A and B are shown apart, each in its own frame.
Chain A
Amino acid sequence: MDLLTDPTITAFREEARTWLEENKPTEARPHDDQAAREFDRAWQHKQYEGGWAGVAWPEEFGGRGLAPLQQMIWYEEMVRAGAPSTGSFTVALGHAGPTIMANGTKEQQALYLDRIISGDTPWCQGFSEPGSGSDLASLRTRAVIDGDELVVNGQKIWTSYAHIADFQELLVRTDPEAPKHKGITWVVMAMDTPGLTVRPIQTIDGNAHFCECFYDDVRIPLANVVGGLNNGWRTAMSTLSFERGMGYLQSRLTIINEVDKLIEEARQRKLLENDRIAYELAHIRAQAVTVHALGYDGVAATSQPELMSSVNQIFNGELSKSLARIAIEIQGDDGLERTEWNGRYLGSFPATIAGGSKDIQKNILGERVLGLPR
């Protein structure tokens, strides 16, 4: 354990900071999802042109081929600059891309990765179903082989950004006779494939970022299967542990900006003189700073992956919800009116649900990390 003072690292940080100063978008990310898609594409493309897309992606896939450490520094600088996060590219950069790198054929890698990193194609994740959330492996969306195609019938739900994505990483059941983890296949589906219907679902905060996807004889080339037929569970898990570990790091790190904004709000309302509120904010800020430490811990990658990813998921989920709860205390009676802060509160509930609920994470910690009996 030591502070890294290697001049190449300092220089890398300087370079990142300067580039962001000069190139980060000055306008806010649009509220409308179609417009947001174009905003995300333009921003990702700009990073690509500048050599900043996929800092830790291998050079052969268009990345910079640097270590997770540099990736972390890049994220830190993004947060420091208040630059937009990956938005509708989160799945593409965070799971679909890495999955294809790890499990895809040369052809698949050539077909998809370049269009992800260059900011061309947002992806979505079609995993959860109405009957299969926490118990993802029970999924029932069926795919039957017909010639050199898979014919898909069924339904997915909670598919974030399905209405603005170009591709979907899709889990389907290809062998209903096999034990539930063994009959699943991971396949790439283009979102303009006939037979697919996407319906956005409105959420309690008034947004509609996630969707239902209905598959009615959707024909997908067998060549789109990644990681082998009936091997989809293992293929998917390589992405999920990434999602729960380093994958969300950039958006997790941004919480410090929100915390600082809230502290400023409390200061203006003269609430920092109140010890309880001051303590709560201090505690929240301490936790927001700890997100950094967990990032460095992820870079060091010396812990058991389940320990790292579940601790991160629980810690960041609860942190995000606490921030929202304190925010509504701070704004007090002004909260009768819809404000940025109570909007944040209304939107905070998925923090302990999406990507594997906090209960499931606790089961993982208890059973797979601490070895407690099931």
Chain B
Amino acid sequence: MIDLKLSDDEKFLQESVRDVGAKEFPLDEGIRAGIDGRKPFDEARWQRLAGLGWFGICVPEAQGGIGLGLTHEMLVFNELGKVAASGPLVGTALGAYVAARAKSDEIAAALIAGQRKAGILVGDLVVDAGVGDLALRVTSEGTELLEITEATPVVSVDEALAVNRVTGTTSLVHITDDDIPSRLRVLVGAYLVGLAETTVEMSADYAKTREQFGKPIGSFQAVKHRCSEMVTRAYTAKAQLAVGAVLANLAATEGIAGSGLLEVASGYLLAMDAAQQNADDNIQNHGGIGFTAEHPAGIFVKRTQVYRHLGGKMSDLIQIALVSPETSAA
């Protein structure tokens, strides 16, 4: 049996991230990026986030982190997804954790303090990191933290995030701990669930106020049911990912190998689907306005098209979902 009720400190963390997230990441930023192009990376904001400890949530206190569990970190990234926060958030937080595991305390400290940042490598593409930054490569064989020495920008599918093609790296840290892919999927999945949740809210709000044929469009079953399907997707993905986070955390705290592998991959697969299908339905619910660059609906479409690639290779996910046993939660 798994208790999914938030503890007081989990609740407190969630609320504080929610407040800061809304202030630091107004949706307008994503809209402006789509229309005018991306602004230079906001270093001052990155420092403020680092100051809140968000990049060291799971790093032990002795190594400069906050020493909380994966469920806490999941809540942080869920809130960041809700506001479609930009920047190499997952890579930096997980990178710090990986460095700490490898006892590379200096690198961990630099990431936690916001002095360095780490993007996630997908093939040879990296998101929101360039030359001089770090890149995290997570595979089923092992996890590597690299320094980027050579990279060229490519046109990103999401204008608010920078994508670079990496052509040169130096390896800094390498570990083979097999729970890292699950931790990555929890964080990316939580962000995707956050995206999916905000689209539910946007659609429901709009369906209550937009009138056609003399009624709010939410009174038409087509729209009402679409909104209901959206909330079902987000809700189920969130529950499954939470179970996964609880179990995957046991790999670190109790040394239970493979704990939560299937549960996390399942939550992640649901989260990918929820984010993508909800982003699509959200535009449908908005009609013409949802397709314009001046409306935030498009941000959720594009952000999903980046984040759905960050949680590891599809073939790995499929393999886990097909054959991994359920983790005993007795």
A359 within 8 A of B: yes
A128 and B302 form a contact (CB under 8 A): no
User: Which residues of chain A (162-216) have a CB below 8 Å from chain B?
Assistant: 201-204, 206, 210
**1/0 per residue B212-227: CB within 8 Å of A?**
1110010010110000
Chain A residues with CB under 8 A of B127: 336
Instruction: Find the A residue at minimum CB distance from B124.
Output: A333
Query: Which chain A residue shows the least CB distance to B309?
Result: A333
Q: Are B34 and A204 in contact (CB under 8 A)?
A: yes
Q: How many Å lie between the Cα of A64 and that of B254 in the bound state?
A: 81
Question: Contact: B287 with A134, CB < 8 Å?
Answer: yes
Of the listed stretches B17-25, B60-68, B154-162, B241-249, name the one at the interface; the rest are far from the partner chain.
B154-162
Q: Which of B50-58, B175-183, B290-298 contacts A (4 or more CB under 8 A)?
A: B290-298
B257 within 8 A of A: no
> What separation, in Å, do the CA atoms of A229 and B188 have in the docked complex?
59
A322 vs chain B, min Cβ distance (A):
11
Interchain CA distance A305-B213 in the complex, whole Å: 23
Cβ of A154 within 8 Å of any chain B Cβ, yes or no, is no
> Do B212 and A134 touch (CB < 8 A)?
yes
Residue on A nearest B288 in the bound complex, by CB: A158
Do A338 and B156 touch (CB < 8 A)? Answer: yes
Task: Please indicate the chain A residues that have their CB under 8 angstroms from the CB of B302 in the complex.
Answer: 204, 346
Selected contact of A338 from candidates B122, B157, B222, CB within 8 Å: B157
Interface size on B, residues (CB 8 A): 38
Q: Say if the beta carbon of B35 comes within 8 Å of chain A.
A: yes
Task: Give A353 to B290 CA distance when docked, in angstroms.
Answer: 10
Count of A interface residues, CB-CB < 8 Å: 38
- The answer to whether B125 touches A337, judged by C-beta atoms less than 8 angstroms apart, is yes
Q: Contact check, A362 vs B306: say whether CB atoms are below 8 A apart.
A: no
Residues of A close to B292: CB separation below 8 A: 201-204
Closest approach, in angstroms, between the C-beta of A32 and any C-beta of chain B? 18
Interface residues of B in 196-251 (CB under 8 A from A): 211-214, 217, 220, 222-223
Interface residues as binary, B284-321 with A (CB distance below 8 Å gives 1, 0 otherwise)? 10011011111001100110011001000110000000
Which residues, 269 to 288 on B, are CB-close (under 8 Å) to A? Answer: 280, 283-284, 287-288
Q: Which residues of A contact B223 (CB under 8 A)?
A: 359
Q: What is the CB-to-nearest-CB distance from B179 to chain A, in angstroms, rounded to a whole number?
A: 23
Residues of B near A358 (CB, < 8 A) are: 284
Chain B nearest Cβ from A272, distance in angstroms = 16
Within the complex, what minimum Cβ distance (angstroms) separates B188 from chain A? 13
For B168, the chain A residues whose CB sits under 8 A away are: none
1/0 per residue A344-373: CB within 8 Å of B? Answer: 011001101110011100110000000000
Q: Which of A15-63 contact B (CB under 8 A)?
A: none
**Complex Cα distance A141/B189, Å?**
47
How many A-B pairs with Cβ below 8 Å? 104
Shortest Cβ gap from B153 to chain A (Å): 10
B288 touches A336 (CB 8 A): no
Q: List the B side residues contacting A345 at CB < 8 Å.
A: 305
Please give, as numbers and ranges, the residues of chain A lying within 8 Å of B212 by CB-CB distance: 132-135, 138
Given known contacts A334-B123, A335-B305, A338-B157, A357 and B287 CB-to-CB distance under 8 angstroms: yes
Please, which residues of chain A bring their CB within 8 A of the CB of B293? 201-204, 206
Residues B309 and A336 in contact, CB atoms below 8 Å apart: yes
Residues of A within 8 A of B294 (CB): 201-202
* Minimal beta-carbon separation of B39 from chain A (angstroms): 17
A352 near B122: Cβ-Cβ < 8 Å: no
With a cutoff of 8 Å between Cβ atoms, the chain B residues found around residue A128 in the complex are: 288
| Contact A359–B156 (Cβ < 8 Å) | no
Q: Which residue of B lies closest to A347 (CB)?
A: B291
Q: Is the CB of A350 within 8 A of B163?
A: no
- B125, B213, B280: the one within 8 Å of A336 (CB): B125
Q: How far is the CB of A161 from chain B (nearest CB, A)?
A: 15
**Which one, A204, A336, A337, contacts B291 given CB within 8 A?**
A204
- Complex CA gap A321/B298 in Å reads 16
Closest residue of chain B to A353 (Cβ to Cβ) is B287
A-chain residues with CB within 8 Å of residue B154 when the two chains form the complex: 337-338
CB distance from B90 to the nearest CB of A (A): 14
Instruction: Give bound CA distance, A363 to B223, whole Å.
Output: 12
- Do residues B125 and A353 form an inter-chain contact, with CB atoms below 8 A? no
- Docked Cα-Cα span, A352 to B286, in Å, equals 12
B156 CB contacts on chain A under 8 angstroms: 336-338
Tell me whether A346 and B287 are in contact in the complex, defined as CB-CB below 8 angstroms, given that A202-B35, A203-B293, A337-B154 are known contacts: no
Which residue of A133, A337, A362 is within 8 Å of B288 (Cβ)?
A133
Contact of A337 among B163, B301, B313 (CB under 8 A): B163
Contacts of A135 in B (CB 8 A): 212-214
Establish whether residues A328 and B305, one from each chain, have CB atoms under 8 Å apart when the complex forms.
yes
> In the complex, which residue of chain A has the Cβ closest to the Cβ of B297?
A204
A350 B291 Cβ-Cβ under 8 A:
yes
Count chain A CB atoms within 10 A of each CB in B125, B156, B212 and give the residue with the most.
Answer: B212
Indicate if the CB atoms of A349 and B280 lie closer than 8 Å.
yes
Report A356 CB to chain B, min CB distance, Å.
Answer: 11
Q: Is A332 in the interface zone, CB < 8 Å from B?
A: yes
In the complex, whether A157 has a CB less than 8 A from a CB of chain B is yes
Q: How far is the CB of B148 from chain A (nearest CB, A)?
A: 15
CB distance from A351 to the nearest CB of B (A): 10
Establish whether residues B306 and A204, one from each chain, have CB atoms under 8 Å apart when the complex forms: no
Q: A357 contacts B301, CB within 8 Å?
A: no
Q: Does A342 contact B (CB under 8 A)?
A: yes
Residue on A nearest B306 in the bound complex, by CB: A336
A334 partner residues in chain B, CB cutoff 8 A:
123
Whether A336 contacts B298 by the Cβ 8 Å rule is no
17 contacts between A and B (CB under 8 A): A138-B212, A202-B35, A204-B292, A204-B293, A336-B156, A336-B157, A336-B305, A336-B306, A336-B309, A338-B154, A342-B305, A346-B157, A346-B301, A349-B284, A349-B301, A353-B291, A362-B222
Q: Which 10 A-B pairs have the closest CB atoms?
A: A204-B298, A359-B222, A202-B293, A135-B212, A338-B155, A158-B288, A349-B283, A337-B154, A135-B213, A134-B212
B residues sitting closer than 8 Å to A (CB atoms) are 34-35, 122-123, 125, 127, 154-157, 163, 211-214, 217, 220, 222-223, 280, 283-284, 287-288, 290-294, 297-298, 301-302, 305-306, 309, 313-314
**Given A206-B34, A335-B305, A352-B284, 8 new contacts (CB under 8 A):** A131-B211, A133-B212, A138-B213, A204-B292, A336-B306, A336-B309, A339-B157, A345-B305
